[in-house]
């Protein structure tokens, strides 16, 4: 039977406690989710500023659809680059401080465009071991193109420097998440930028979880560290997390972005996102820029959570961001804890291998500016009761 090996592998996943399950939401994204006929307090979303359900953004989307229709009709380089796309790209470039930006339908596509386009035969890629799956896949594509690919221990600047110093590659890329999606910690971007300068390397930064949240006015992780929009930096940011809509961008120098436009396969050969999405994102960008009050509430709720979870038997990782991972260890134990919270009306996902290393299954608590003090207190109380 052609499906026999598939059935066997699925059974193996189930036996190891690694089966993933989708849940169908019956309400818009927000701190309260209607799921399976129940109201759940939602700590599973990356909607860090609570903008996914924002009515101003929804109106911009609807008005954009009325004016520009449902779809773009083609790739950006054929006939699918409409005025709202151009306006959004200009707005992102101005907001991030880079000369130019390109937009993509997803962060995965954006990451698949950058590293394989900049690195091929004779080049070298140096990637953090805890990078997101999309960066890993981009690294593998660069390897297929002939690039030498090396991974350095998580945030180990000394190990990275040894790799850079030993490399004779003509073109070098340092590739890292800015905020690591399963640990919530920050990359040492100033040190990485210094190495990029010293070894004449590109610094490719995935700021999916920092954009909109960190730095002045939510400009992201580079702004958080007061780093310049330097020509050697390629900045990727997603627009479906703090921005509340969908899609992604890559910002960089005018030359680098033009090169990506001309050579990036996942940009060239993809139909452009609907122009109404770009209209919604332009409104979102404005709300992010003027969203200091949202960010202040977010960080107050993060501090409340961390203060309240001290002394529990599970290890809360030292994260300063909206991603608050609590390591349980065993897959089944993590699932059992998530199930017990679910039964109490709290949706906190259990994250298991291969997303995280074996033996580090965890709850990934995602905090939002839309959460209230009472919401956080309810989660703390439930975890204390279950400890």
Provide the edge-to-edge strand list for the sheet that holds 346-347: 32-35, 38-42, 346-347
Identify whether 221 is a catalytic site residue. no
Type and span of the H or E element at 248: strand 248-252
Of the candidates 76, 172, 209, 224, the residue annotated as catalytic is 209
Of the candidates 172, 224, 241, 371, the residue annotated as catalytic is 241
Please give the Cα distance from 87 to 279 (Å, whole number): 9
Identify whether 241 is a catalytic site residue. yes
Query: How many Cα atoms sit within 13 Å of 121 on the Cβ side?
Result: 0
Residues in Cβ contact with 225 at an 8 Å cutoff, skipping those fewer than 6 apart: 189, 190
Please give the Cα distance from 370 to 309 (Å, whole number): 20
Tokens matching residue 58: 């929804």
Identify whether 143 is a catalytic site residue. no
Q: Are 351 and 362 in contact (CB under 8 A)?
A: yes
Encode burial over 188-210: b for 16+ CB neighbours within 10 A, e otherwise.
bbeebbebbeebebbbbbbbbbb
Please give the Cα distance from 148 to 120 (Å, whole number): 8
Encode burial over 298-321: b for 16+ CB neighbours within 10 A, e otherwise.
bbebbebbbebbeeeebebbebbb
Please give the Cα distance from 172 to 290 (Å, whole number): 37
Please give the Cα distance from 111 to 184 (Å, whole number): 19
Please give the Cα distance from 4 to 360 (Å, whole number): 31
Type and span of the H or E element at 238: strand 233-238
Of the candidates 134, 181, 319, 368, the residue annotated as catalytic is 181
Please give the Cα distance from 354 to 276 (Å, whole number): 36
DSSP string, 315-384: EE----SSEEEEEEESHHHHHHHHHHHHHTTEE--EE-TTSS-TT-EEEEEE--TT--HHHHHHHHHHHH
Residues catalogued as catalytic: 181, 209, 241
């Amino acid at each position: 039977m052609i499906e026999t090996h598939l059935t066997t592998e699925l059974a193996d996943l189930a036996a190891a406690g690694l089966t993933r399950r989708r849940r169908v939401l019956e309400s818009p994204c927000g701190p309260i989710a209607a799921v399976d006929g129940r109201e759940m307090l939602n700590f599973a979303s990356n909607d860090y500023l609570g903008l996914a359900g924002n009515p101003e953004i929804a109106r911009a989307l609807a008005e954009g659809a009325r004016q520009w229709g449902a779809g773009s009709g083609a790739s950006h380089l054929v006939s699918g680059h409409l005025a709202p796309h151009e306006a959004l790209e200009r707005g992102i470039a101005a907001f991030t401080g880079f000369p130019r930006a390109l937009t993509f339908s997803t962060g995965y596509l954006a990451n698949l465009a950058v590293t394989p386009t900049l690195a091929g035969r004779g080049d070298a890629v140096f990637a953090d071991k805890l990078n997101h799956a999309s960066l890993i896949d981009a690294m593998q594509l660069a390897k297929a193109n002939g690039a030498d690919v090396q991974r350095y221990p998580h945030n180990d600047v000394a190990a990275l420097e040894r790799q850079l110093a030993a490399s004779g590659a003509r073109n070098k890329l340092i590739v890292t998440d800015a905020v690591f999606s399963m640990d919530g910690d920050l990359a040492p971007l100033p040190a990485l930028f210094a190495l990029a300068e010293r070894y004449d390397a590109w610094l490719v930064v995935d700021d999916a979880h920092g954009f909109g949240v960190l730095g002045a006015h939510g400009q992201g992780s580079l702004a958080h560290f007061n780093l310049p929009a330097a020509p050697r930096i390629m900045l990727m940011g997603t627009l479906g997390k703090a921005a509340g809509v969908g899609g992604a961008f890559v910002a960089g120098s005018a030359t680098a972005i033009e090169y990506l436009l001309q050579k990036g396969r996942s940009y060239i050969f993809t139909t452009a996102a609907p122009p109404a999405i770009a209209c919604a994102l332009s409104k979102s960008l404005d709300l992010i820029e003027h969203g200091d009050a949202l960010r202040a509430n977010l960080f107050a709720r993060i501090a409340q959570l961390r203060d309240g979870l001290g002394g529990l038997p599970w290890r809360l990782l030292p994260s300063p961001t909206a991603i608050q991972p609590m390591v349980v260890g065993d897959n089944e134990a993590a699932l059992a804890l998530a199930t017990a919270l679910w039964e109490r009306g709290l949706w906190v996902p259990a994250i298991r291998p291969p997303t995280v290393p074996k033996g580090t299954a965890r709850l990934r608590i995602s905090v939002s500016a839309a959460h209230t003090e009472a919401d956080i207190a309810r989660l703390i109380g439930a975890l204390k009761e279950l400890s």
